[in-house]
Amino acid sequence: MAQYTLYGAPISYFTGKVRAYLDWKGLPYHEVLATADTFREVILPRAGFPVIPIVVTDAGETLQDTTDIIAALELRHPTPALAPRGALQRLAVALLELYGDEWLVIPAMHYRWHHNREWAQRAFGETNAPTASPEEQIAVGMQRAGPFAQAAVRLGAGTPQMRAAVEKSYEALLAELDAHFQALPYALGRRPSMADFGLYGPLYAHQYRDPASGDIMRRLAPHVVRWIERLQSPPTVSGGHANDFEADTIPATLEPILRRQMREQMPVLADSAMRLTQWLQDHPGESVPRAIGMHGFELEGVQGERIVRPYSLWMMQRARDVYCSLKGEDRTRADTWLDHVGGGQFRLFQDPPRLVRSGLSVALAPNNGEAQGLMR
């Protein structure tokens, strides 16, 4: 009997991340397609807002947000472990999940809505109205996909020049990932970690599955394709404890990927932190919206504009928590490694006030300014 119910959809970025985690862990679950009826009858009453995925336990508890879902399930099912004990590896895992969740959404949305739009609209119609006629599904899909179709522009791929820059960056990333997965089966070596599932979300649901994007991936990065397919298989590791990971080192083949993250994503997060801090001062007591205006950014030498997303800073806070928890020799090694991959801006990051996740955005943490605990 299923222990968990996953409400989601094949086309969903974050459903893919949770589904792959559940499959790899071998957890018993039943997946329910998030149709319009399911949103109205289940998801909205449980989550309070329209979002997928959610996971409902056999005790009736509702888990929402992939980071929180996986963290909760890891506490209940610690083996096979996904979190290494080594300081450098824990930091790399947090950084790569931040990268997958909050930065690779840009190429994911760009390719879906600028290269796969008609296919995506049909898929939205089939998901939301599975019993409708094909003509009705197309109409429903065009309506339902509308807000999502604007995401690529809002996230930065709004001009022809920026779209070309997104594609140049993404295809270079594919080459870097392909070289890594040619050398090693998973992000950290011989067994998966949370880094793999953080990267899997955008690379599977939008890039591997969508037809035009899938053709690009199969042509340019066959080893990335094999990695995606490996993560859909049951675990092959023995033991399954955190200390089963290899020595606390980061594969050299990951370094180009982390350097790309540092030069592309970190300046955006630094500016977002400054803007959120100012926004909180200017709007005391107000709820933080999902976006707080626009700001400029640079990608592949091209200047663009995108929304300021406070939620990304909650994910950044998780990575910073790992770093700030390191002491002594672990901190020294982390600093040396960060400098090696161009991570000085992460190391010296000016943190905004302490945040908690609040719906689809964030809020000030209770007793803000005091320690709220590391690695929630």
Residue 237 has pLDDT above 80, yes or no: no
Q: What is the pLDDT of residue 146?
A: 79
Residues 137-147 have pLDDT tens digits of 888 888 887 78
Q: Please spell the DSSP secondary structure of 257-324, one letter per residue.
A: HHHHHHHHHHHHHHHHHHHHHHHHHHSTTPPPPS---EEEEEETTEEEEEE--HHHHHHHHHHHHHHH
Weakest-pLDDT range from 66-80, 86-100, 312-326: 66-80
The CATH number that domain 90-236+248-252 falls under is: 1.20.1050.10
Q: What is the pLDDT of residue 235?
A: 64
Per-residue pLDDT band for 165 (boundaries 50, 70, 90) equals: very high
Task: Indicate the average pLDDT of the chain.
Answer: 92
Residues 260-273 have pLDDT tens digits of 999 999 999 999 99
Q: What is the mean pLDDT of residues 25-40?
A: 93
Residues 145-161 have pLDDT tens digits of 778 878 999 999 999 99
Q: What is the pLDDT of residue 294?
A: 97
Per-residue pLDDT band for 376 (boundaries 50, 70, 90) equals: very low
Per-residue pLDDT band for 124 (boundaries 50, 70, 90) equals: confident
Cis, bond preceding 352 (omega within 30 deg of 0) = no
Weakest-pLDDT range from 67-81, 93-107, 215-229: 67-81
Q: What is the mean pLDDT of residues 96-102?
A: 97
- If 0-12 CB within 10 Å is exposed, 13-18 middle and 19+ buried, where does residue 146 land? exposed
Q: What is the pLDDT of residue 243?
A: 54
Residues 37-89 have pLDDT tens digits of 999 999 999 999 999 999 999 999 999 999 999 999 999 999 888 889 899 99
pTM for this model (two decimals) = 0.92
User: Domain map of the chain by residue range?
Assistant: 4-76, 90-236+248-252, 264-364
Weakest-pLDDT range from 13-22, 30-39, 243-252, 258-267: 243-252
- The answer to whether domain 4-76 and domain 90-236+248-252 are alike in fold is no
Residue 375 has pLDDT above 50, yes or no: no
Weakest-pLDDT range from 106-110, 179-183, 255-259, 370-374: 370-374
Are the beta carbons of 217 and 207 closer than 8 angstroms? Answer: yes
Residue 372 has pLDDT above 50, yes or no: no
CATH of 4-76, one of 3.40.1180.10, 3.40.30.10, 3.10.450.40, 3.40.190.10: 3.40.30.10
Asked whether the CA dihedral 362, 351, 338, 79 is positive or negative, the reply is negative
Q: What is the mean pLDDT of residues 286-300?
A: 97
Q: What is the pLDDT of residue 373?
A: 35
Q: Please spell the DSSP secondary structure of 23-50, one letter per residue.
A: HHHT--EEEEE--HHHIIIIIHHHHSSS
